[in-house]
C-alpha cells in the first residue's frame, strides 16, 4: 500500500519520574501493527533516571524531547507541537496499549477527520497487565458527542483517560490543546472540548488500553490545595463546555452530578471551593447522585450523614484501622482515579 494511503499516527507520551514504567509504555507503542507511526516522548524534568531509560530508545526511532518540569499538560502540548501525524494518541508513561489498538481504531475511523475512535480499558495492578479484566461497559457505543457526554456524566464516573482515544489532528485544531493551568483531572476538561469538537464517537471493539493503577505518588492521588483547585477548575470548565453546546434538563443534571462528585471526593478539604460548588449545583437544579464508597461507609452515612461518615472513614484510613491495603483504600474511597478521570 503506498505511504500516501497510510496516514501517520503520532503517539505522544509525557513522562515525569516514570522510570519503572515508561519502558513498558514505549514497548507497547513500538509493537503497534499500524505501519506509519511516530513516537514522541517529552521528559518533563524527571529526576529519577527516566532520562537514561529514554535515551536507550532513540536508536529505535523514538524522538525524545527534554524540558524543565512544567506539568503533564505542557509536556503533552510540547509533544503535539513536534508531531506530524494526521491522527494523535496521547499515552501516559505508565500505561500500556495492545499491539493492534491503533490499527483497529484507524480501521474504525476510515480516514474521517471529524470522528473520534474510542477503545476499551481495564485496570491492572502490581506490574501485571495479564490481570486486567475487560468487561462490557455502557460507554462502549457509537454516539453523537453531546449524547455520549450526557450519558457518561449522568453517573459522574466517566472514564476519559487519554490513551482510549484516537483523535484526528483536525479535531484538535478546533478544540485546542491541554489547559496548562490544570493538573488533577485535566483530562475531564480536555476531552469535554475534544469530544464536543467532533461529529461522532465511534466505539472500537478490541482496541485495548491497560490502565496501570495503584501507583504511590501518582498525579491522580494528589489531594493538596493545588491539586484540588485543579479538579475544581477542570470540573467547572468541563461542565460549562457541555452546557454551552446544549443547555437542557439532561445536560444540567449530568453537569450537576459531575460537580456534586467533586464534593463527595474531596470533602472536607478546601471548604471555600465546596461552597462554590454547592451553589453551582443548586443553580443547575440539584443532583440525584449518591456518594460512592465501600459497604461500611454506606451503612454509616445512612446513620449519621455522608459528611460525618466521610470524616470517620478518613480517620480510619489514616489510623490504618480498616485492615485494607493502601491501594484498595484509595480505590474504595473514590469513584476512580483520573477523571472519575
Give domain status of residue 41, yes or no. yes
Give domain status of residue 265, yes or no. no
Q: Which pLDDT tens digits describe the chain residue by residue (341 residues)?
A: 345 579 999 999 999 999 999 999 999 999 999 999 999 999 999 999 999 999 999 999 999 999 999 999 999 999 999 999 999 999 999 999 999 999 999 999 999 999 999 999 999 998 899 999 999 999 999 999 999 999 999 999 899 999 999 999 999 999 999 999 999 999 999 999 999 999 999 999 999 999 998 866 554 444 689 999 999 999 999 999 999 999 999 999 999 999 999 999 999 989 999 999 999 999 999 999 999 888 888 999 999 999 999 999 888 888 876 544 343 333 333 333 333 33
Q: How many domains does the chain divide into?
A: 1
Q: What is the DSSP secondary-structure string of 11-67?
A: EEEEESS-TTTHHHHHHHHHT---SSEEEEEEEES--SSHHHHHHTTGGGT-EEEEE
Whether the CB-CB separation of 209 and 119 falls below 8 Å is answered with yes
Give domain status of residue 302, yes or no. no
Distance separating alpha carbons of residues 325 and 337, to the nearest angstrom? 16
Whether the CB-CB separation of 121 and 159 falls below 8 Å is answered with yes
Give domain status of residue 149, yes or no. no
Range of the domain at 8: 1-94
Could you identify the residue written with the cell 478546601?
270
Distance separating alpha carbons of residues 279 and 256, to the nearest angstrom? 10
Give domain status of residue 201, yes or no. no
Residue 190: all three cell numbers together: 480536555
Best CA proximity match to 45, nearest among 82, 19, 71, 76: 71
Give domain status of residue 39, yes or no. yes
Give domain status of residue 257, yes or no. no
**What CATH number should be reported for the domain holding residue 24?**
3.90.550.10
Give domain status of residue 298, yes or no. no
Amino acid at each position: 500500500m503506498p505511504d500516501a494511503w497510510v496516514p501517520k499516527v503520532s503517539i505522544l507520551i509525557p513522562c515525569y519520574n516514570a522510570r519503572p514504567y515508561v519502558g513498558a509504555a514505549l514497548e507497547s507503542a513500538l509493537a503497534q501493527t499500524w505501519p506509519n507511526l511516530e513516537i514522541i516522548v517529552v521528559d518533563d524534568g524527571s529526576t529519577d533516571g527516566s532520562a537514561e531509560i529514554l535515551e536507550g530508545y532513540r536508536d529505535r526511532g523514538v524522538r525524545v524531547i527534554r524540558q524543565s518540569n512544567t506539568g503533564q499538560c505542557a509536556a503533552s502540548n510540547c509533544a503535539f507541537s513536534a508531531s506530524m501525524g494526521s491522527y494523535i494518541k496521547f499515552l501516559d508513561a505508565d500505561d500500556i496499549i495492545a499491539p493492534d489498538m491503533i490499527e483497529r481504531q484507524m480501521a474504525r475511523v476510515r480516514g474521517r477527520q471529524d470522528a473520534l475512535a474510542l477503545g476499551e480499558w481495564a485496570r491492572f495492578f502490581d506490574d501485571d497487565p495479564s490481570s486486567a479484566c475487560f468487561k462490557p461497559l455502557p460507554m462502549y457505543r457509537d454516539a453523537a458527542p453531546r449524547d455520549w457526554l450526557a450519558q457518561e456524566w449522568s453517573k459522574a464516573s466517566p472514564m476519559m483517560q487519554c490513551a482510549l482515544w484516537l483523535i484526528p489532528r483536525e479535531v484538535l485544531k478546533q478544540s485546542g490543546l491541554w489547559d496548562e493551568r490544570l493538573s488533577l483531572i485535566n483530562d475531564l476538561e480536555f476531552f469535554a472540548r475534544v469530544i464536543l469538537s467532533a461529529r461522532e464517537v465511534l466505539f472500537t471493539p478490541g482496541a485495548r488500553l491497560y490502565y496501570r493503577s495503584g501507583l504511590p505518588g501518582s498525579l491522580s492521588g494528589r489531594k493538596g490545595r493545588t491539586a484540588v483547585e485543579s479538579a475544581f477548575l477542570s470540573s467547572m470548565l468541563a461542565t460549562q463546555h457541555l452546557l454551552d453546546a446544549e443547555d437542557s434538563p439532561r445536560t444540567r443534571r449530568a453537569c450537576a452530578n459531575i460537580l456534586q462528585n467533586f464534593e463527595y471526593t474531596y470533602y472536607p478539604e478546601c471548604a471555600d471551593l465546596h461552597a462554590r460548588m454547592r451553589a453551582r449545583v443548586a443553580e443547575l437544579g440539584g443532583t440525584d447522585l449518591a456518594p460512592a464508597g465501600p459497604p461500611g461507609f454506606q451503612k454509616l452515612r445512612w446513620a449519621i450523614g455522608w459528611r460525618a461518615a466521610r470524616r470517620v472513614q478518613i480517620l480510619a484510613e489514616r489510623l490504618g484501622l480498616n485492615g485494607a491495603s493502601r491501594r484498595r483504600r484509595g480505590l474504595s474511597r473514590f469513584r476512580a482515579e483520573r477523571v472519575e478521570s
